[in-house]
Amino acid sequence: MGFAIVLQLIFAIIVTAICSLFGIKAMWSALAGSLIAILPNAIFAVYLFASPKPAAYRFFVGEGIKIVIALVVAVVFWRQYGMQVQPFAYWVALIVVLKAHNFSLLRTVKE
């Protein structure tokens, strides 16, 4: 899970850097979209690693908490800064960072 968070951070930096070429507004919008994607996943990872023994219900509870946190943070952000956000940069960053964990599946684990 930690590797997936690191990948999301790397992709967030890349997308934010690319969006900065289109202006400061696009850069801040991409950064906000990236953080809205990373924050719930990081909280979910901490929640899963906090238990000494794994349980299936912890995963589903954590996933529910992650979704609620993502929705609440996104709604608060859009209500506060909606008129100042460049939507295309925001949504591109959000989607790219959310899907960045798929690249962690390409990693081979050596035992």
Q: Is residue 28 part of a domain?
A: yes
d(CA 5, CA 67): 16
Q: DSSP string covering 59-101, please?
A: HHHHHHHHHHHHHHHHHHHHHHHGGG--HHHHHHHHHHHHHGG
Domain that holds residue 96: 2-105
Q: pTM here? A: 0.80
Q: Is residue 110 part of a domain?
A: no
Q: Is residue 89 part of a domain?
A: yes
Q: Is residue 111 part of a domain?
A: no
Tokens encoding 84: 């100042």
User: Three-state DSSP class for 44?
Assistant: helix
pLDDT in tens, 33-86: 999 999 998 888 888 888 777 778 888 888 898 899 999 999 999 899 888 889
Q: Is residue 77 part of a domain?
A: yes
Count: domains in the chain: 1
Q: Is residue 9 part of a domain?
A: yes
